[in-house]
C-alpha cells in the first residue's frame, strides 16, 4: 500500500526525532520515506532505507543501529533507517522483491558474490564517480586486495567492502590437552587434520559420541564457501572454482573431485564427524558446548565464541594440502539504481562514514569480521585488541592465501546447482565424481547466455 506524501513526511519526521534520541527504528517493509523536516523544522532531512543481514552470532542488530545513530549525530540532514532482512540468502530475496516492486532500499549490505547478478539485473550503480569525488585512489587503495578484488565487474567498482570474513578453524585447547595433543599447535594439513580429529573423538560408556573430532558445514548456502577453501588447497596453482569474469565454473577437476572425496571420507571412512548434512548455524553453539574438538567457521563468529566459550580455545589457518587456501566472504555496501543523485550522494556519505579506518577496526573488534582496510590495523584500538585476543590475528595473516568464494552470474542458481549436487554426494546418493560432473554440466548450461 502506498502512503500519501503528508503521511510519509510525518513518518520521516518521527524517524528523525527517534534517531536524534539514539533509537533508530528498524521496522519492517514500507515505501521509501523520502525527505522530511528536521525536528526544528528548518532543514530538509533525507531518510534512507538500508537493508542488512545478520549471518553470525552476536548482537549485530544493535551495532548497526548504533552506527546509523552515530552517523546521524554528525550528519543531521541524513537519517539512515536500518532494516534487518534475515540472513544473506533472505536479504538477496528481499532486495530482489523490493526492486521488482519499485520499493527498493537506497543502499544495502549484501554478499560480494552478488555483484555479477546485481549488475546484470541493472539493480545497482557503479561507484567510481562517487569515489573520485570523495577519497579517490587514497581511499580505495587502502582496502586489502583480498577483499577489494571482488568489488569489480568489467573494470568498474560496484561495491565497498564492509563486514568481510574468511574461514578459519577454531579448536578446543582443553580437548587437545585431554587427547594428548599440543594445545598450541593446530593441524596444518589434511593428514594432521585426520590424525588430530581421530584422537579428539570422545565416546561415553555406551559407545555414543559425545565429542566429534571436526565439524564442517554442508548445508545449502554454506557448502560452496567452505568447499572453495578445500579446492584452493588442493589445486595445482591456486585455481578457483570459477573464472575471474564469473562466466565459467570449474567444478569437476580431478583436484576438486579429490577434495570432495576427502570431505566424504571424514564422515564415512575416518568417522571423525557426524554423518549427513551438518548445519552451519549449529556449529558455533555446539563447539561452545564442547561437542567438537575443531570446527571450520567464519571469522565473523570470533566475538561470539570468545565471549561464550568456557574453555581455552585457539584459531588456525584452514589446514592445507598442496598449499594453504581459504575463501573470503561477507558483505559489501551497494547503492541501488533508480534513486536520485542527491540520495546517491547521501548513501555514499554513510558508506564513507561506516568504512573509516577507526569504525572498521571497532566493527572488527565487536563482531570478529575482518577490517577490510589496511589502515585499520594501524589504529591503537586494533593493536590493543590483538594484544588482548591474539586468536584474531590468524584471519589477517591467512588473507594472503585467500580468494573469493564461488562468484558467477546468476549466482543464486549456480549456488543451488552446486549445493544440491554436493549434498547428494555427502549423503551417498552420488559419488564425488558423479556429483561434480553433474554440477559442472548444469552450471555450464546456465552460464552459456553470459558468454
pLDDT tens-digit readout, 193-208: 999 999 999 999 999 9
Query: Number of helices (H) and strands (E), helices first, in the chain?
Result: 19, 13
Residue 55: band (very low, low, confident or very high) from pLDDT cuts 50, 70, 90: low
- Among 55-64, 311-320, 424-433, 436-445, which stretch is predicted with the lowest mean pLDDT? 55-64
Show the cell assigned to 226. Answer: 567452505
User: Own/partner pairs for 241-245, CB < 8 Å, 24+ apart?
Assistant: 241/405, 241/406, 242/406, 242/407, 242/408
- What would the CATH number be for the domain defined by 167-328+406-450? 3.40.190.10
Residues 238, 210: Cα–Cα separation, whole Å: 37
Show the cell assigned to 277. Answer: 548434512
410 Ramachandran zone, left/alpha/beta (phi>0; psi -120 to 50): left
Residue 31: band (very low, low, confident or very high) from pLDDT cuts 50, 70, 90: very low
Residue 53: band (very low, low, confident or very high) from pLDDT cuts 50, 70, 90: confident
| Mean pLDDT on 220-230 | 89
Instruction: Reply yes or no on whether the pLDDT at 317 is more than 70.
Output: yes
pLDDT value at position 432?
98
| Mean pLDDT on 325-337 | 95
| Mean pLDDT on 21-34 | 38
User: Where does CATH 3.40.190.10 sit in the chain?
Assistant: 5-165+330-391, 167-328+406-450
| Mean pLDDT on 385-391 | 95
Q: What percentage of the chain carries pLDDT values higher than 70? A: 89
Choose among 261, 276, 281, 298: nearest CA to 432. Answer: 261
Residue 29: band (very low, low, confident or very high) from pLDDT cuts 50, 70, 90: very low
Instruction: Give 244-288 as a DSSP string.
Output: TTSS-B-TT-HHHHHHHHHHHHHHHTS--S-SSPPPGGGHHHHHH
Specify the residue for cell string 558508506: 351
Specify the residue for cell string 523490493: 98
pLDDT value at position 87?
81
Residue 16: band (very low, low, confident or very high) from pLDDT cuts 50, 70, 90: very low
* pTM reported for the whole predicted model: 0.85
- What would the CATH number be for the domain defined by 5-165+330-391? 3.40.190.10
- Structural contact between residues 393 and 364, judged by C-beta atoms closer than 8 angstroms: no
| Mean pLDDT on 332-357 | 97
Residues 283, 305: Cα–Cα separation, whole Å: 11
Amino acid at each position: 500500500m502506498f502512503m500519501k506524501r503528508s503521511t510519509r513526511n510525518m513518518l520521516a519526521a518521527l524517524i528523525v526525532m527517534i534517531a536524534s534520541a539514539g533509537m533508530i527504528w528498524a521496522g519492517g517493509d514500507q515505501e521509501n520515506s523520502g525527505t522530511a523536516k528536521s525536528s526544528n523544522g528548518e532543514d530538509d532531512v533525507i531518510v534512507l532505507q538500508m537493508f542488512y543481514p545478520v549471518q553470525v552470532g552476536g548482537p549485530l542488530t544493535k551495532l548497526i543501529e548504533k552506527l546509523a545513530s552515530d552517523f546521524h549525530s554528525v550528519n543531521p540532514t541524513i537519517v539512515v533507517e536500518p532494516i534487518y532482512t534475515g540472513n544473506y540468502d533472505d536479504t538477496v530475496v528481499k532486495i530482489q522483491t523490493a526492486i521488482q516492486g519499485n520499493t527498493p532500499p537506497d543502499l544495502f549490505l549484501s554478499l560480494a558474490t552478488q555483484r555479477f547478478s546485481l549488475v546484470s539485473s541493472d539493480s545497482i550503480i557503479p561507484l567510481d564517480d562517487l569515489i573520485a569525488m570523495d577519497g579517490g585512489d587514497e581511499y580505495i587503495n587502502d582496502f586489502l586486495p583480498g577483499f577489494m578484488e571482488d568489488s569489480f565487474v568489467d573494470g568498474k567498482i560496484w561495491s565497498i567492502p564492509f563486514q568481510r570474513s574468511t574461514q578459519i578453524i577454531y579448536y578446543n585447547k582443553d580437548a587437545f590437552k585431554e587427547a594428548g595433543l599440543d594445545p598450541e599447535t593446530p593441524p596444518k594439513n589434511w593428514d594432521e587434520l585426520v590424525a588430530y580429529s581421530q584422537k579428539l573423538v570422545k565416546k561415553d560408556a555406551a559407545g555414543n559420541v559425545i565429542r566429534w573430532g571436526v565439524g564442517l558445514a554442508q548445508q545449502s548456502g554454506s557448502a560452496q564457501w567452505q568447499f572453495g577453501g578445500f579446492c584452493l588447497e588442493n589445486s595445482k596453482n591456486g585455481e578457483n572454482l570459477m573464472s575471474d569474469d564469473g562466466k565459467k565454473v570449474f567444478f569437476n577437476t580431478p583436484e576438486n573431485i579429490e577434495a570432495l572425496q576427502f570431505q566424504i571420507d571424514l564422515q564415512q571412512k575416518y568417522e571423525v564427524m557426524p554423518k549427513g548434512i551438518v548445519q552451519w548455524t549449529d556449529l558455533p553453539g555446539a563447539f561452545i558446548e564442547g561437542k567438537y574438538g575443531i570446527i571450520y567457521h567464519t571469522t565473523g563468529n570470533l566475538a561470539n565464541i570468545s565471549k561464550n566459550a568456557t574453555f581455552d580455545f585457539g584459531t588456525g589457518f584452514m589446514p592445507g594440502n598442496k598449499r594453504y587456501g581459504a575463501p573470503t566472504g561477507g558483505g559489501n555496501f551497494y547503492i541501488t539504481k533508480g534513486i536520485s543523485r542527491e540520495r546517491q550522494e547521501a548513501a555514499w556519505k554513510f558508506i564513507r562514514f561506516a568504512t573509516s579506518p577507526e569504525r572498521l577496526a571497532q566493527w572488527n573488534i565487536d563482531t570478529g569480521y575482518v577490517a577490510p582496510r589496511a589502515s585499520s590495523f594501524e589504529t591503537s584500538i586494533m593493536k590493543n585488541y590483538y594484544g588482548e585476543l591474539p586468536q584474531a590475528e590468524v584471519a589477517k595473516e591467512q588473507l594472503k592465501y585467500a580468494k573469493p568464494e564461488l562468484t558467477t552470474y546468476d549466482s543464486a542458481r549456480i549456488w543451488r546447482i552446486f549445493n544440491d549436487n554436493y549434498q547428494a554426494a555427502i549423503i551417498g546418493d552420488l559419488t564425488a565424481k558423479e556429483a561434480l560432473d553433474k554440477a559442472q554440466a548444469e552450471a555450464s548450461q546456465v552460464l552459456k547466455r553470459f558468454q
